[in-house]
Amino acid sequence: MSETPKARAVSIRDVAALAGVSLGSASRVINRAENVTAATRDKVERAIAQLGYRPNHAAQSLRLKASRTIGCMLTDVTNGLYAKLFRALEERFRPEGYMLLLANGLNNPQRELDILSMFRSRSMDGLILAPGNERDADVLAAVKAQDVPVVILDRDMPVGKDSLLFDHVSGMTAAVTHLIGQGHRRIALVLGQTPDTPSRRPIRLRVEGFRNGFTTNGLAVPEDLIVLSPADTHATFHTMSALLSGTDAPTAIIAQGTNILHDCLNAIGACGLRIPHDVAVISIGDPDFAHTYMPPLCSVRIDLQQTAQLCGDMLLGRIREDLAGGPQLVRVCPELVLRQSCGAV
C-alpha cells in the first residue's frame, strides 16, 4: 500500500523544528523572501527535502485569501471546441501556478446556478464563464453577484464583467463573401437547434453575419436556406437530402458543429454529389478531421491559443490588480481557413 497511510502530514512546524529555526524563518524561506541568511535557507531547504514537505494549500488560501484556482464553467467539454479551449486555458494558467476547476453547465440554468454557487463559496481567484443561458435572469444575477474577477466567454451578458467575444459576424460574412466570390448564390446555412436558439449569441450572430454577407454584396438573402435543426438526430440529414435533391438546390453549404457537419456530408454523399464540384462546403469550427477529410474542408476557425492568452491577460490583470477600470471587452476574429471543399485553393 502507500507509504505513510495515516501519519499526520508534515507541517511547516516540523520543518522549522528539524531545521532548528523558527516557524517564521521557515515560512520566509518557503516564500523566497529576501531577508534570510544563506545558512538558514540551507538548513530549511534541507529539512524540506528530507521531510518531503509541501505547504498546506487550504491554510495558505485561508491566510492569503487566494486559492490559485480558476473556476471554469463551460457549456460542455464533450464539444471539441470547449475541450480545446480548456486545454488552451490550462496552458495559459498553469505556468502562472493556477489550476482549473472545470464544470459543465450543460445549458441547464439550475445546474449553472449550483456551479456558480459552489465557485462562490470556494473562493476562486477568478472565473471563466460560458453559460448556456445568456438570458436567464437568475444566472445573470448570479454572475453579476460574483465578487471575484470574471471573464465571460462569447456570451452577451449585461452584468458589468470583462468579456471576450468571438466576432461571429465577421467570420460568417467572410465565409459567405468568399462563396459569393466563387459564384455561389444559393448558399445554405445549417445551424444546431436548441430550445432557446434565438437567444444564443453565437447562433444569433452567425445568422446576422450570413445575411450581412449577402446584403453587403448587394444580393438578396436566401432565407429559405437558413436551416435550424436539432444536432442529435438525423433531422439534419433528411432536411439536407431533401434540399439538395430538390429544385433550386444550394450549391454551397455552411455547416456549424461537428454533428451537423457530418449529417451534411452524409446527405451530400447520399445524393451522389461531389465536393466541391457539385456543392461547396465550409465548416464553422475546425474539428481535427476537417483537414484530413477528402477533400479537406474549408473552415472558419477560432484561434484558441490567442483566446486563452487574452482571457488570461484580462483575468490575471484583474486578480493582480494591474488592470483597473470598468469592464473590458475584447474581440477575437475567427479566420477563414481555405481548403479544397470551398472550391478555392
Where do contacts with DNA occur on this chain (CB under 7 A)?
Answer: 8-9, 11-13, 21-25, 27-28, 30-31, 34-37, 39-40, 53, 55-56, 59-60, 62-65
Interaction partner, residue 86 (DNA, a copy of itself, none; CB < 5-8 Å by kind): a copy of itself
Structural contact between residues 302 and 332, judged by C-beta atoms closer than 8 angstroms = yes
Exposure on the CB side of residue 67, measured as CA atoms within 13 A:
17
Q: Is 238 in the site for a copy of itself (CB under 8 A)?
A: no
Q: Is 35 in the site for a copy of itself (CB under 8 A)?
A: no
Q: Is 288 in the site for a copy of itself (CB under 8 A)?
A: yes
- Nearest CB to a copy of itself, comparing residues 259 and 340: 259
Closest CA relative to residue 149, chosen from 125, 116, 122: 125
Question: What phi, psi does 104 have (nearest 5°)?
Answer: -95, 125
- Nearest CB to a copy of itself, comparing residues 234 and 331: 234
Please give the grid coordinates belonging to residue 167.
Answer: 466576432
Amino acid at 253: I
- Nearest CB to a copy of itself, comparing residues 267 and 316: 267
DSSP single-letter state for residue 277: T
Q: Is 299 in the site for a copy of itself (CB under 8 A)?
A: no
Interaction partner, residue 32 (a copy of itself, DNA, none; CB < 5-8 Å by kind): none
Exposure on the CB side of residue 60, measured as CA atoms within 13 A:
13
Site residues for a copy of itself, 139-198, by CB under 8 A, read 144-147, 160-161
Triad 224, 229, 231: Cα angle to 5°:
150
Structural contact between residues 249 and 186, judged by C-beta atoms closer than 8 angstroms = yes
Q: Is 27 in the site for a copy of itself (CB under 8 A)?
A: no
CB of 40 to DNA, least distance (A): 4
The CA distance from 311 to 166, in Å, is: 12
Interaction partner, residue 11 (a copy of itself, DNA, none; CB < 5-8 Å by kind): DNA
- Nearest CB to a copy of itself, comparing residues 25 and 258: 258
Please give the grid coordinates belonging to residue 11.
Answer: 507541517
- Nearest CB to a copy of itself, comparing residues 163 and 170: 163
Instruction: Transcribe 68-84 into DSSP letters.
Output: SEEEEEES-TTSHHHHH
Q: Is 90 in the site for a copy of itself (CB under 8 A)?
A: yes
Q: Is 100 in the site for a copy of itself (CB under 8 A)?
A: yes
CB of 236 to a copy of itself, least distance (A): 9
Number of residues written out for the chain: 345
- DSSP H helical segments within the chain, as ranges? 12-19, 23-30, 38-51, 57-64, 80-93, 109-121, 137-145, 168-181, 201-216, 235-245, 258-270, 304-320
Q: Does the bond joining 202 to the residue before it have cis omega, within 30 degrees of 0?
A: no
Q: Is 84 in the site for a copy of itself (CB under 8 A)?
A: yes
The CA distance from 175 to 106, in Å, is: 29
- Nearest CB to DNA, comparing residues 6 and 63: 63
Q: Is 78 in the site for a copy of itself (CB under 8 A)?
A: yes
- Nearest CB to DNA, comparing residues 123 and 199: 123
Residue selected from 20, 24, 50, 57 as contacting a copy of itself according to rule CB under 8 A: 57
